[in-house]
Amino acid sequence: MRKRFLPVLLLLLTPLRLWAWGVDGHRAIGKIAENHLSRHAKKEIQKLLGTETLPLVSTWPDEIRFYPEFKDTAPWHYVNTASGLNHDQYVQQLKAQTTPNAYNVLIKQLETLKDTHKTQAERLAALKFVVHIVGDVHQPLHAGHAEDKGGNDIKLKYRGKDTNLHSLWDSGLLDYQGLTYSEIAGQYEPQLRGRQVKTWQKATPEQWLWESYQASEQIYGDVPANGDVDYKYYPAHSELMKQRIEQAGVRLAAILNETLK
């Protein structure tokens, strides 16, 4: 009986730094992406997913990392660097890291997804990781500072409960809305404009991470001195949160359209 509860125990003991956007955030990103896929990409994705959907598989990498055979995937969800870097320094550090992280793993998974000589199972796993990691790297604290573990070491109190800066941005702000993933996508989608979408989709993964890094610098600067996040915090930061989810959705669609063309 104890073995049945092992994944749950591991879930409770695992640092929150890996749960970017939570379940609803990741699935909202997958839902937005579905609406921007090319006809060909939709067909190719359906061949791989079968009865599954992008929103539902978007959380798979978080779900499987509690099992021994996937324990090495834990660092695949983030890229932490030093604070105070300019653009060129950041990109240089990003490309210089050789240990697995969200950036270099994303590049490898895209290569696997594109390679039709790979097995169906290999390409399916790659697709699921791509969907998830694109969401992860748009959460600013998944490109945060190495010295504080992406904000995990910055303790806060939010709505009367103990939390930390990373967890606040993973799910605290998103949960405050009280929406399902389909409602999140339904509310965010109408705000997108054609020219804006095309501009966002031209950006590279390096640019996505640089944007998150810059946003994280702003977020670090906005940490209240007493650690008490008050009622003003959500309205002050909700637009940034919404934009990063929107950008992740349309960029996921663009990179899948390109990879599967």
pTM of the model: 0.91
User: φ and ψ at 159, to 5 degrees?
Assistant: 55, 40
**What per-residue confidence (pLDDT) applies to 19?**
61
Q: Rounded to whole angstroms, what are the CA distances from 248 to 132, 141, 149, 168, 209?
A: 10, 15, 22, 19, 11
**55 neighbors 181 (Cβ within 8 angstroms):** yes
The rounded radius of gyration (Å) of the Cα atoms in the chain is 18
- Where do the structural domains in the chain lie, given as residue ranges? 2-259
Structure tokens at 241: 């949160």
**What per-residue confidence (pLDDT) applies to 190?**
85
**What per-residue confidence (pLDDT) applies to 101?**
97
Give the separation between CA 232 and CA 71, rounded to whole angstroms.
39
The contacts found for 113-116 with CB under 8 angstroms, 24 or more apart, are: 113/259, 113/260, 114/259, 114/260
Fold that domain 2-259 belongs to in CATH: P1 Nuclease (1.10.575)
Residue from 193, 202, 205, 176 nearest 246 by CA: 193
67 half-sphere exposure, CB direction, 13 A CA radius:
8
Return per-residue pLDDT of the chain as tens, 261 residues: 444 444 434 333 344 445 678 899 999 999 999 999 999 999 999 999 999 999 999 999 999 988 999 999 999 999 999 999 999 999 999 999 999 999 999 999 999 999 999 999 999 999 999 999 999 999 999 999 999 999 999 999 999 999 999 999 999 999 999 999 999 999 998 889 889 999 999 999 999 999 999 999 999 999 999 999 999 999 999 999 999 999 999 999 999 999 999
**What per-residue confidence (pLDDT) applies to 21?**
86
Q: Rounded to whole angstroms, what are the CA distances from 10 to 67, 136, 236?
A: 9, 20, 34
* Farthest CA pair distance, the chain: 56
**What per-residue confidence (pLDDT) applies to 9?**
40
Q: How many helices (H) and strands (E) does the chain have?
A: 14, 3
